[in-house]
Structure formats: C-alpha cells, structure tokens
Chain A
Amino acid sequence: DAGVTQSPTHLIKTRGQQVTLRCSPKSGHDTVSWYQQALGQGPQFIFQYYEEEERQRGNFPDRFSGHQFPNYSSELNVNALLLGDSALYLCASSGGLLPTDTQYFGPGTRLTVL
C-alpha cells in the first residue's frame, strides 16, 4: 500500500517564475491538504481540497493556487515566486470511506527560490 507521494523531490527556481508541485494521496483517501514548512519552523496550512474543490484555506496570498483531479491527486501552483517562498512543501492526505481526523504526510518537495 503506497503512502503519500510527492514530486519532484527538489526544485530550484528564480524570483518571478512559476512552479507546480504534485501529490498523490494514500490509497483510499479522497482529501488532500498542502502545508508550507520554512526552515526551523512548524508547517503552515495552505489549503485543503475535497471533491475537486478548495474546502478550506489558510492565510496565504492568491499566488498560491491548487487543483484536485478526479483520481484525488493534487497540484500546488505558486506564481510570481519570492525569495520567501523557499521552503519544504508538504502534502497530506486523509478521508475516504472511513473518515478519520488523521492526516498522513508525504516526504515533501524542497523548493529553493534564488
């Protein structure tokens, strides 16, 4: 049973560029959440997707957007990258036929903005 997978593992971009990160949820899960973890900090909630719609959003600007596909996988898009967007981006999945309050995290994508 595959857990949560994310791609790519690492990414280097320059200021002003756009980036897309991808996440496949754990088998049986239908809900995907995205978090940003700056170095030495706890993860910060970006948003959550359920039934292909954004269900909940944290305090992040509109430059951060997402999408969920019919197979429950998800993308995180960040436009007009800033140096401060450099972080580990974590995807977490949950839900499914047996609803639970537990979120399972992937290994993350390390984004560096130069």
Chain B
Amino acid sequence: GNSVTQMEGPVTLSEEAFLTINCTYTATGYPSLFWYVQYPGEGLQLLLKATKADDKGSNKGFEATYRKETTSFHLEKGSVQVSDSAVYFCALSDRAGSARQLTFGSGTQLTVLP
C-alpha cells in the first residue's frame, strides 16, 4: 500500500534560517504529491503540489520537487519567518490527477524563533 515518511520533529529554527523537511514515499502507480500546512487550532491548508516527476511546486517562498528516482518530495524555504511556525504534512494521492484518497505523513512541527 501507499505510505509517506516524514522527517521527525519538532524542528526549531531562528528567523531567516534555511528550512528543509524531508519526505519520502512509497506508492503503486504515479501519485500526485502535496504539502499541507496546519496552523494551531485550524484545518489543513494546501501549501503546494506536484503532479508528475521533476515537477516543482512552489508557494509563499516554499518549494518542493517531485523526485521519482529517489521517491522524495522534500520541502525547502530559503528564509523562514516567525509566521511559518506550524505543522507541515506531506501527502500523496493514490492516482495522479484524481482527488482520491490522500495518504499523509505524521507531520513535522516547525517553530521559528525571532
């Protein structure tokens, strides 16, 4: 079956530091890949996505590249802000281009200190 493995947290960074959150996946077929963010007390917000190999998703300074050869979709940001403090979830759909079942990683808590 499908699975997503995320870097264990929590992660604590100083403002303007570089961020990497690792994500690897196991899937049958060709999934779409997603990063969602969850702020305290809220639901999930889509941060970025990629639908096929070598696609790069980007939004609000965050980037992730769909690497089929390493089955990875690592999240990066060059300079984090205090407002980026949240829980980040990597996820995959079971069929690219189709909004079917999402499989999530366990989440990575990010705290950015001023």
Chain A residues engaging chain B, CB cutoff 8 angstroms = 4, 31, 33, 35, 40-45, 48, 56, 58, 90, 92, 94-95, 99-108
Contacts and interface: CB of A to CB of B under 8 A. Distances in A.
A18 B76 CA distance: 43
Interface of B: 4, 32, 34, 36, 42-46, 49, 51, 89, 91, 93, 95-107
B89 A101 contact: no
Given A101-B32, A107-B42, A45 B103 contact: yes
15 contacts: A33-B102, A41-B107, A42-B4, A42-B89, A42-B104, A43-B102, A56-B101, A90-B43, A95-B99, A99-B98, A100-B99, A101-B32, A101-B95, A105-B44, A107-B42
A31 B98 CA distance: 11
B100 A56 contact: yes
Given A101-B49, A101-B51, A107-B43, A43 B99 contact: no
Contact of A42 (B32, B96, B100, B105): B105
Dominant secondary structure at the A interface: loop
A94 B102 CA distance: 12
A48 B100 contact: yes
Contacts of A99: 97-99
Contacts, number: 66
A100 B95 CA distance: 11
Given A42-B89, A108-B43, A103 B99 contact: yes
A44 B1 CA distance: 14
A4 B46 CA distance: 13
Nearest to B33: A101
A43 B106 contact: no
Given A42-B89, A43-B44, A105-B45, A94 B99 contact: yes
A101 B44 contact: no
